[in-house]
Structure 1
Amino acid sequence: MKLGAAGRIEKPLLWLVITALSAAIFVADTVTDLEIAFAVLYVAVVLISVRTARPGAVMLVGAVCAVLTVVSYLLTRFGDPESGLANCGLSLLAIGATTYMALRIEAANIAARQAQAELAHMSRVMLVGELGTSIAHEVSQPLAAIAANGSAAIRWLGASPPNDGEARLALERIVEAAGRAGDVVGRVRNLAARTPSSQGPVDMAELVQETLALAQGEIRSSQIALRTELADDVPMVAGDRVQLQQVILNLVVNAIDAIKAGRADERDLLVSLSTDGEKITLSVRDSGVGLAPGSSDKVFDAFYSTKPGGMGVGLAISRSIVEAHGGAVYAAPNYPNGAVFGFTLPIREAKD
């Protein structure tokens, strides 16, 4: 099954349920000889249509239900006409009110999703800001190499006779350094860009390496010993690459901050990735100051922060992202000192 097929299957099944239920209600409302507002059951159809997450679809289903109610009333040949008219009017009122409330609920959901996306983007920008100095250093190194090799190329070409071979090597080093600088800028741009959420196959091992490359300057300048244990058999997961990278980077940056606040002689950071066949587990272990007693259940709450001046939104956003991907976050003490933060994601069959 290709990635995204679940969504493509879910929607047709949803529409099949809506169609079948509407047809059943229409037939029952038309042939029954009971003088009851049977068409009020169309309210359930309208509520089911909310799962499409499309206001236009909700309006369409509400309109169709209203039309079926009127057609059923016109086709009914038995019973008291006045009672039938009253039941038809009651059903139309219930369908209209339900459709209106469903539209209001969906509008609120859309606004909430947009606000969450804005908050997540703000958190990513803040993460990039925290790494600003080390990122600038990562860019300045290849730029310095470009300048040095450019000067060398000019000297080799200005020699008598010109040394084309050495000049060519210097130019090749310039191209290589420019590529390294471009990679750093590209990773920062991809993380900080305001892009709509998109689902696709994600290679978590590759994503971990890219994320650590972003934080490499900060890790090196903080004199932290970084180790990685990335299993070779981790399959692709279904998810939003940028959002998952945000979660990993947030855990890594928090670990760096905790290590810097801890003992200077123990600065270890371990990032591991494994799978048990049903889920993948990513953990970030640090030798920092650790978790306060009883705080493991609070660290992912909104506006709870152990950092001086911290906003307490990074881990809360990370939890919402992971849970939206069907996973779970966790935090625990790391022995003999420090803490371990991580998350699990379900393995979904994903193919390009």
Structure 2
Amino acid sequence: MKHDIGRPLRSHRVLSMAGLLVAMAVIFVADTVTDYAVAAAGFYTAVILVAARLISARALILLAGLCIFLTIFSFALTKFGSYQVGLINSCISIVAIAITTYLALKMNAAQAAAQQAQAQLLRIARVTSLGELSTSIAHEVNQPLAAIATSGNACQRWLDQQPPNLDKAKQAVERILGDAHRASDIIARVRGLTQGEQPHKSHFDLNQAIHEVVAISRTDVEAQGISIDLSLDENLPQVLADRVQIQQVIVNMVLNASEAMADYQDKKKEIRIQSALSAPHTVQFSIIDSGGGFAAGSIAHIFDPFWTTKGTGIGLGLAISRTIIEANGGRIWAEEHTDGGAIFKFSLPLAEGNAA
């Protein structure tokens, strides 16, 4: 006997929408029979937030329009209190309904983008016979997807406050959209890299790219008690490389550096990032951590695929980084730090016309 598992879900959705309609009726009655000073219409925002998980974007816009209409109609029917106070409260409620609807639509769009990125990852894994490709993408896309989840939870907390903190929620939604697009870009770049496609090279400011990566990573890194120190050459010329891929390498190096210091409690934990003009035609990036450095003999293998010293690592991060840097005409290497810790460096060619 076949069971229709979708029927209980549809029934639950119908009951939920019926409950929301009842709630709207209650809010309308409360807003109408109470004094102008009581802004009961503000509770329509809660209806919008719940409905955003149940109905389509078009239906949500129509529902928001209905809430605004009920707010105006209730104001016209109310006969108690100060008219000016009621007008101000009604306008505030209408604005809150509109903003909440906008944020709910943005959040749903961000979640859809994240789901699309994950679906693309699954499709690639099914059609390719190259197991390293799917593993590589999963490794590199993990950070932006984790950031999406963190920002989504933060957005939900801001919206659940009474009253909702709409400015903070909007900022969280913008971070979600940015990370969703970054995940999609990473998937496309890694897939193209494994298929022999040339990087999407352009002229860009390496220092600005570094600042963007640090802004994304700083909160998580500092939560581990690690400080980030930047020493960037302000007169650095532009480089010629794939910006998304280079930022992918920098993110991986920052994460590796923070993981290298995770078990150190009695030692100052610091990541130093430097940029400088290293030769007439190249720019050099350096990242230095204060961890335990390299094990004996390991420095010769750290860029080998599937070679790792981490208990939960898969040994692809640095191998992918080397492939990316070399595909962009650069070089990557590691060095021992005399004061302990590790140093990773890579060089990139200057953009045309910027050679010294």
Q: Return the TM-score normalized by structure 1.
A: 0.54
> Within 5 Å, which residues of 2 pair with 1:333-344?
333-344=336-347
- Which of 298, 304, 319 is 1:295 aligned to? 298
Counterpart position of 1:228: 230
Give distance in 2, aligned partners of 1:210 and 1:187: 12
Give distance in 2, aligned partners of 1:347 and 1:135: 33
1:178 aligns with 2:178: no
Shift of the 136–177 alpha-carbon distance from structure 1 to 2, 3 Å rule, reads closer
> Within 5 Å, which residues of 2 pair with 1:93-172?
119=132, 122-129=135-142, 133=146, 136-148=149-161, 151-152=162-163, 171-172=166-167
Give distance in 2, aligned partners of 1:250 and 1:193: 17
Please tell me whether the aligned partners of residues 158 and 166 of structure 2 are also in contact (alpha carbons under 8 angstroms).
no
Please tell me whether the aligned partners of residues 285 and 339 of structure 1 are also in contact (alpha carbons under 8 angstroms).
yes
Shift of the 280–269 alpha-carbon distance from structure 1 to 2, 3 Å rule, reads same
SS, match of residue 319 in structure 2 = helix
Give distance in 2, aligned partners of 1:119 and 1:212: 28
Counterpart position of 1:321: 324
Please tell me whether the aligned partners of residues 305 and 312 of structure 1 are also in contact (alpha carbons under 8 angstroms).
yes
Post-superposition offset of 1:192: 3.9
Number of aligned residue pairs: give it.
220
Give distance in 1, aligned partners of 2:201 and 2:134: 17
Counterpart position of 2:211: 209
Counterpart position of 2:35: none
Please tell me whether the aligned partners of residues 206 and 238 of structure 2 are also in contact (alpha carbons under 8 angstroms).
yes
Post-superposition offset of 1:121: 6.8
Please tell me whether the aligned partners of residues 255 and 286 of structure 1 are also in contact (alpha carbons under 8 angstroms).
yes
Task: Give the aligned CA root-mean-square deviation in angstroms.
Answer: 3.2
Give distance in 2, aligned partners of 1:184 and 1:348: 27
1:286 aligns with 2:289: yes
Counterpart position of 1:257: 259
Shift of the 320–335 alpha-carbon distance from structure 1 to 2, 3 Å rule, reads same
Counterpart position of 1:191: 186
Give distance in 2, aligned partners of 1:204 and 1:319: 18
Give distance in 2, aligned partners of 1:264 and 1:320: 36
SS, match of residue 284 in structure 2 = strand
Q: Counterpart of 1:257 in structure 2: which amino acid?
A: E
Please tell me whether the aligned partners of residues 238 and 350 of structure 1 are also in contact (alpha carbons under 8 angstroms).
no
Q: Counterpart of 2:349 in structure 1: which amino acid?
A: P
Instruction: Structure 1 unaligned segments of length 5 or more: list them.
Output: 1-114, 154-169
Q: Counterpart of 1:179 in structure 2: which amino acid?
A: E
Shift of the 187–245 alpha-carbon distance from structure 1 to 2, 3 Å rule, reads same
SS, match of residue 299 in structure 1 = coil
Cα deviation 1:83-121 (Å, max 9, x = unaligned)? xxxxxxxxxxxxxxxxxxxxxxxxxxxxxxxx9x98567
- Which of 243, 246, 251 is 1:244 aligned to? 246
Higher RCO structure, 1 or 2 (CA under 8 Å, sep 6+): 1
